Amino acid sequence: MWQKEDTTYRDLRESSLDQWLTEMEAHEDLQVRGGVRLAREYLAYLKKENQRLQEQNQLTQTYLKKAILDKRKR
């Protein structure tokens, strides 16, 4: 009975941050507006890195399961 992961809180946080960054794009201070681009790029990098690490972890788990099964067969 696999249930879909509840991402409501994460989605809410993400949309709130995006809304705040959108508001900061209209800020009168140039440094604040420049920081918005930097923040968005960093968030994109973190998401990409998170995905890469999850894939790497999955590959490691698959390898370890196979190694354990092979060891048991001997």
pLDDT per residue over 9-52, tens digit each?
A: 999 999 999 999 999 999 999 998 999 999 999 999 999 999 99
pLDDT at 54 over 70: yes
The pLDDT value recorded for residue 72 is 83
The pLDDT value recorded for residue 15 is 96
Structure pTM? Answer: 0.74
The pLDDT value recorded for residue 1 is 57
Instruction: Produce one character per residue of 21-43: b if its CB has 16 or more CB atoms within 10 Å, e if not.
Output: eeeeeeeeeeeeeeebeeeeeee
